[in-house]
């Protein structure tokens, strides 16, 4: 009710600090009457986005039993995924667009390793080892900070959304499928406010350890969940958990689902604030250095909406971003321009009906359109600012930095999907 009240009475915004959605239901199929909202040039639209039009299909109400029942409860079984996804993968493999690289092996707290003969900084081009596959996004354009948060939705999402709203700041949320199922209200609130919803996989695995089919299932179920919960929007971007992708996984995301990979060039390690890892003071020190430092390339800082502490670290840094005259823009919009979706001209515009299979679409959101319209301006030709990222990537060859991400020594606890983010928080780059 608070959100609705604020929508109708924007003057109350200054007193609205936390958004609660428990007291009203949501549906992507049947919204309020079509004339309830202000015209798009009304100032309130800077704060709250008008509920976007859909592709006309009636979808199960977000948060309803029928909605959640249609999706896997935890790690998706690739032998039971839709046949179209497997067909699209097989077609891409047959077309030679998926490099034949074996899956990596994951030892907890260490970087994934590959069989001998497969060089992570060579043909494999592992992002964990800071190798930059052409077409992946690591940097923002000069003077920009790409605002984005991983691992939502979560309870901490509420406070983050309230802060973003108070500051008229939109952001990209790289969401985990099972978390969307667990926190539908936070998901709906982020989408309703006009934030970009992108893919952070279904259960947050090290993606390079998976078979081609399991990669497809992780990406496909998350994309389908977002698609069917946003009136038919097909996300344009994904971020690999732990930043772990390679040339094979990156190609599957692109060729099968039209997803472009966004990584980062600075890491707060804010995921470890609640587990005895980093501290608010350490993040303050890092942030101060980055935000008062050179503006070329621009910053894509890895941050999380995992906990109140990680959200607080962003809130503390945000005024410093502004004070140093950075252009803070939702990272998906920096990369592409106006939309985080493959089948809408902007986050607010009408949706062109389109299935999640980019390579099997007859709409304008086809893979070729997606590929050519994604112009990672200023990104692929610059080296990151990260201390360990000394490679100078170009668009024609992978970088050759030999310094892998530093691994932190904490204990690994296997967990169920419900414990996923707890587990993730013990890991490198949650
Ligand atoms: C998602 O929506 C499509 C229609 O766009 C429908 O065919 C499909 O069954 C839905 N998927 C789930 C898991 O509900
Ligand atoms: C593409 O979609 C059509 C119609 O939905 C379907 O018959 C066909 O099998 C799909 N092809 C692939 C490669 O998924
Ligand atoms: C996070 O902050 C909110 C208020 O912003 C509070 O209600 C909630 O209890 C906090 N959660 C934790 C785990 O401290
Ligand atoms: C760091 O902390 C100081 C003291 O609280 C504060 O003034 C400053 O804005 C903080 N900077 C960042 C980047 O969080
Ligand atoms: C930030 O960049 C966006 C997109 O280029 C632009 O529309 C906006 O005016 C810029 N904001 C500022 C404060 O420069
Ligand atoms: Zn994550």
Instruction: Say whether pLDDT at 8 is over 60.
Output: no
Could you give the CA distance from residue 292 to residue 288 in angstroms, rounded to a whole number? Answer: 6
Average pLDDT, the chain: 78
Catalytic residue of the set 150, 151, 192, 270:
150
Q: Closest ligand 3 atom to the C-alpha of 307? A: 13
The pLDDT of residue 71 is 98
Catalytic residue of the set 26, 173, 304, 429:
304
Known catalytic membership, residue 77: no
pTM over 0.85: no
How far is the centre of ligand 4, averaged over its atoms, from the C-alpha of 316 (Å)?
A: 6
Mean pLDDT of 397-426: 29
Give per-residue pLDDT as tens, 251-278. 999 999 999 999 999 999 999 999 999 9
Tokens of 341: 């979706």
In eight-state DSSP terms, residue 62 is T
Instruction: Say whether pLDDT at 5 is over 60.
Output: no
More confident residue, 40 or 224: 224
Beta strands 196-199 and 327-330 are: unpaired
Please tell me the least confidently modeled range out of 41-50, 71-80, 338-347, 415-424: 415-424
Confidence of residue 130 (pLDDT cuts 50, 70, 90): very high
Give per-residue pLDDT as tens, 48-96. 555 568 999 999 999 999 999 999 999 999 999 999 999 999 999 999 9
The SS3 of residue 85 is: helix
Protein residue with its CA nearest to atom 5 in ligand 3: 159
Query: What is the CATH architecture of 2-425?
Result: Alpha-Beta Barrel (3.20)
Mean pLDDT of 351-360: 80
Instruction: Say whether pLDDT at 16 is over 50.
Output: no
Could you give the CA distance from residue 240 to residue 291 in angstroms, rounded to a whole number? Answer: 25
Cβ burial of 375 (10 Å; 0-12, 13-18, 19+) is exposed
Confidence of residue 196 (pLDDT cuts 50, 70, 90): very high
How far is the centre of ligand 5, averaged over its atoms, from the C-alpha of 42 (Å)?
A: 19
How far is the centre of ligand 1, averaged over its atoms, from the C-alpha of 228 (Å)?
A: 6
Select from 337, 277, 272 the least CA-distant residue to 303.
272
Mutating to test ligand 2, I would choose from 356, 360, 361, 363 the residue with most ligand atoms within 8 A of its C-beta, which is: 360
More confident residue, 359 or 5: 359
How many residues can be counted in the chain?
430
Confidence of residue 30 (pLDDT cuts 50, 70, 90): very low
Residue 224 beta carbon below 6 angstroms from any ligand 1 atom? yes
How far is the centre of ligand 3, averaged over its atoms, from the C-alpha of 308 (Å)?
A: 6
Confidence of residue 131 (pLDDT cuts 50, 70, 90): very high
Residues with CB under 6 A from ligand 5: 327, 329
Known catalytic membership, residue 304: yes
């Amino acid at each position: 009710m608070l959100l609705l009240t604020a929508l109708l009475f924007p003057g109350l915004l200054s007193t609205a600090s936390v958004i609660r959605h428990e007291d009203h239901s949501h549906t992507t199929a049947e919204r309020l009457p079509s004339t309830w909202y202000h015209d798009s040039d009304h100032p309130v639209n800077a704060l709250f986005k008008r509920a976007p039009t859909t592709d006309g299909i009636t979808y199960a109400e977000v948060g309803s039993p029928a909605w959640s029942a249609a999706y896997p409860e935890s790690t998706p079984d690739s032998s039971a995924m839709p046949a179209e996804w497997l067909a699209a993968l097989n077609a891409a493999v047959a077309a030679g667009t998926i490099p034949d690289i074996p899956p990596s092996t994951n030892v907890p707290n260490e970087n994934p390793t590959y069989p001998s003969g497969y060089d992570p900084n060579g043909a494999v081009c592992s992002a964990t080892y800071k190798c930059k596959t052409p077409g992946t996004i690591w940097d923002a354009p000069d003077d920009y900070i790409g605002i984005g948060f991983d691992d939502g939705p979560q309870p901490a999402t509420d406070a983050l959304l309230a802060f973003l709203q108070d500051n008229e700041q939109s952001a990209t949320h790289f969401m985990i499928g099972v978390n969307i199922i667990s926190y539908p209200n936070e998901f709906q609130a982020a989408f309703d406010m006009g934030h970009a919803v992108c893919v952070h996989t279904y259960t947050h695995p090290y993606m390079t350890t998976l078979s081609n089919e399991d990669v497809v299932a992780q990406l496909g179920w998350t994309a389908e969940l977002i698609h069917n919960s946003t009136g038919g929007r097909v996300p344009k971007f994904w971020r690999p958990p732990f930043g772990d992708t390679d040339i094979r996984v990156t190609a599957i995301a692109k060729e099968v689902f039209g997803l472009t990979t966004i990584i980062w060039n600075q890491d707060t390690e804010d995921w470890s604030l609640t587990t005895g890892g980093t501290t608010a003071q350490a993040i303050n020190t890092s942030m101060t250095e980055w935000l008062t430092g050179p503006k070329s390339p621009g910053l894509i800082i890895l941050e999380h909406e995992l906990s109140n502490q990680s959200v607080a670290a962003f809130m503390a840094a945000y005024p410093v971003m502004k004070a140093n005259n950075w252009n803070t823009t939702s990272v998906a919009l920096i990369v592409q321009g106006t939309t985080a979706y493959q089948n809408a001209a902007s986050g607010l515009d009408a949706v062109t009906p389109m299935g999640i299979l980019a390579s099997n679409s007859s709409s304008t959101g086809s893979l070729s359109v997606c590929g050519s319209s994604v112009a990672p301006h200023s990104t692929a030709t610059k080296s990151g600012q990260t201390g360990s990222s000394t490679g100078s990537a170009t668009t024609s060859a992978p970088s050759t930095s030999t310094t892998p991400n530093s691994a932190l020594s904490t204990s690994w606890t296997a967990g169920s999907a419900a414990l996923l983010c707890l587990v993730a928080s013990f890991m490198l780059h949650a």
